[in-house]
Amino acid sequence: MRISKIIQEQPDGIPMAPLIDIVFLTLVFFMVTSVYATLESEVDIMLPTADTAQQSERAQGEIFINLRDDGTIVVNERVLSVEALQETLHRVAMYFPGGAVIIRGDRLANLGKAIQILDCCRKADIQNVAFAALPEESDQ
C-alpha cells in the first residue's frame, strides 16, 4: 500500500495582523512622547541667569507661568489676567494636589507682577513654586 503525501504550498505573504499591531503601537508611542516633548516656553522671554540653575524634569500637574517684560501673564499660550490666573491655579490645585508652579519671568519683568503671581499661588494653596533661570555661561 502506497501512501502519497500531498504537499500544499501556501503563497508567501505578509501576515497583516502583526503588522497592524506594530503600526498601531508605533503610533501610540509617538503620540505619547509628543505630549511630553511639548514644553511651554515663550520665545520672547529672556530668562535671568544664576550660578545654581539646574535643568529639571517635567512632572505631572506642573504648570508654567510666563511673565513677559511688559507684565503680561501667559499660561498655555493664553494671555491671562490676575483673576483668570487665580481661577486656573485653583483648578490645578484641585486636580493635582501637590503640583508645582514654575514662574518663567523675563529679566526686565516687573517684580510687582511676580509678587501677584506668588500671591495667587498662595491663595490656591500651591506650596511648590519655583522661578526658572538659565545657568551662567562661564568665560573660561
What percent of the chain lies above the pLDDT cut of 70? 72
pTM: 0.62
pLDDT at 23: 92
pLDDT digits (tens, 9 = 90+) for 57-78: 666 667 888 998 888 898 888 8
| Number of Cβ atoms within 10 Å of the Cβ of 2 | 3
Average confidence (pLDDT) over 95-121 = 87
| Number of Cβ atoms within 10 Å of the Cβ of 87 | 13
Q: Which three cell numbers stand for residue 11?
A: 503563497
Q: What are phi and psi of 75, to 5 degrees?
A: -130, 125
- Taking 50 as the threshold, does the pLDDT of residue 4 lie above it? yes
Angle, helices 82-95 vs 111-123, to 10°: value is 40
- Taking 70 as the threshold, does the pLDDT of residue 34 lie above it? no
Q: Which three cell numbers stand for residue 90?
A: 485653583
Q: Taking a C-beta distance cutoff of 8 angstroms, is the pair 103, 94 a contact?
A: no
Range 49-135 classified under CATH 3.40.47.10: no
